[in-house]
Amino acid sequence: MPYLTVGRDAGNIDIYFEDHGVGKPVVLIHGFPLSGREWEKQIPPLVETGHRVVVYDRRGFGRSSQTITGYDFDTFAEDLRKLIKHLDLREVALVGNSMGAGEVARYIGRYGSMNIDRVVFIGGVQPYLMKSDENPAGLDLNVRTMLETAVKKDRLTFLTTFLENMYNAGALLGTRLTEEDLHYAWQIASMASPIGTLKCICTWWSDFRPDVAKINVPALIVHGGADRSVPLEGTSQRLQQAIRGSRLVVIEDAPHGLVTTHADKLNPLLVDFLR
């Protein structure tokens, strides 16, 4: 299995990645609290339409090292940069889902867009999730405190509730979601670093406005019309206004976990935009 060493703590910090197909490179960056496996419905159609698809597990998640430190977007973006350099990827499309959209924004904020062809944000928290007079539809910090408290008390029960909400299980179970989908996601999330799971929550309130201001490549923004986790009005709608020429697509009735439940709607958008 391919790994890239991106640093050291008690030992090597290794990032697990997969590299499929040939053609223009696309890097898929997963959301919380999952791994690169969440993209299994997107990888085949992208490979079949002539893309080299790279998918990796964020540090602390999936098969990557469960380090103690480095759970911040500066470090996540640096890990991504090292992977792009290691694979010698040119004119890359970056596709970030949920928390993964943070790596997309911070990467361009820190390293620029010289080698980036285009970007996709799916259910991201950009440009700034914090509730304020400027962003009344954002989330208050007490939500963060509530989530962190739940993880500290009982991480596995937290994951059950979080994933049911992420996929709108009450509305979609039996139609666009199966019990097996939920169980699979829970298994992936349960094996993630407990420390990483806790520390990643606070990163969602990072201020990406300086990063977003530097995005000058074609951008597609996708959000679920029934997203209960990340408010559309406080994030993607504002992101579309902040990125000149960007396109926002709202998928009707889709939850936050739309890469699984609404792959039939998302995949044609990705194929068309990345063509």
- Integer Cα distance of 90 and 102 in angstroms: 21
Q: Which one is catalytic: 35, 64, 65, 98? A: 98
Burial class for 22, CB neighbours closer than 10 Å (0-12, 13-18, 19+):
exposed
- Integer Cα distance of 104 and 123 in angstroms: 12
Q: Which one is catalytic: 65, 181, 227, 262? A: 227
Beta bridge pairs of residue 97: 122
Please indicate whether residue 30 is annotated as part of the active site: no
DSSP code for 64 = S
Of 39, 97, 133, 42, nearest to 230 (Cα)?
Answer: 97
Please indicate whether residue 74 is annotated as part of the active site: no
Of 75, 122, 135, nearest to 94 (Cα)?
Answer: 122
Please indicate whether residue 256 is annotated as part of the active site: yes
Measured CA distances, 24 to 2, 46, 78, 246, 263 (Å): 20, 10, 22, 21, 21
Q: Which one is catalytic: 51, 223, 256, 262? A: 256
For the annotated catalytic residues, the residue numbers are: 98, 227, 256
